[in-house]
Homo-oligomer: A and B are copies of this chain.
Amino acid sequence: MTRQKVKMAFIENESSRKATYKKRKRGILKKANELATLCGVPVGVIIDSPYDLTPEVWPSREDMDNVLSQLQRLPVMDRTKKMLNQESYLKQSISKASETCKKLTKENKELEMKEVMFDCLSGKTSPSRIEKNDLGACGNVIEQYLRNLNRRIEILSKNDGASSSSVHVVASTSVAMPIVELGSSSTAFCDMIRQQQIQSNMNQNVGSLDLNQQQW
């Protein structure tokens, strides 16, 4: 009896895949129905399966089309005043969201830069291929990296004084060039950076940002 947690990957076995498909299809359709019922919301599900002759569609499109075709007249002006009151809040929200988004974009860019750095270190890519616009950012990332690395080395060397002097690494703005040299030579350096990378990533929280959405 092996009732274990299943890994989320394509099921190779034909028959069990089909069995799973049928069970889960029923599950989803039930869930969709429940959501629609409980919350009074039009929900549509389309499953274009090879097991069913025609793509499974739930439910009637009537609901959706209904909503869409409800197009007549509406006196909006009396609502306008209320709506306008929201403007200031809207602007606030927009700028807030913009800022958050900008932050994320920046973090994202940094991650990409790290990737590039690794490629350079391993000789997979030469710095000449880095986009010109990205060079500055890449340098920043690497500098920060080296700073962290140094800090870490200092901590380590406190525990082992003998090797401390020989391992120091110096951050520099002209990082782009040293990368090449490092890439061809120092495996130890790569290992060190990898370690540091792991530590750094552990501390990073990328996806925790959220928007407070409003309701009228």
Contact = CB atoms under 8 A, between A and B. Distances in A.
Contacts of A161: none
A147 B114 CA distance: 45
A41 B203 CA distance: 23
A45 B48 contact: no
A34 interface: yes
A139 to B, nearest CB: 11
A127 to B, nearest CB: 14
A215 B48 CA distance: 12
Contact of A174 (B72, B93, B194): B72
Nearest to A204: B93
A1 interface: no
Contacts of A20: 38-39
Interface of A: 6, 8-11, 17-18, 20-21, 24-25, 27-28, 31-32, 34-35, 37-51, 64, 67-68, 70-80, 82-84, 86-87, 89-91, 93-94, 96-101, 104-105, 107-108, 111-112, 114-115, 117-119, 121-124, 143, 146-151, 169-175, 178-179, 190-191, 194, 197-198, 201, 204, 206-207, 209, 211, 213-216
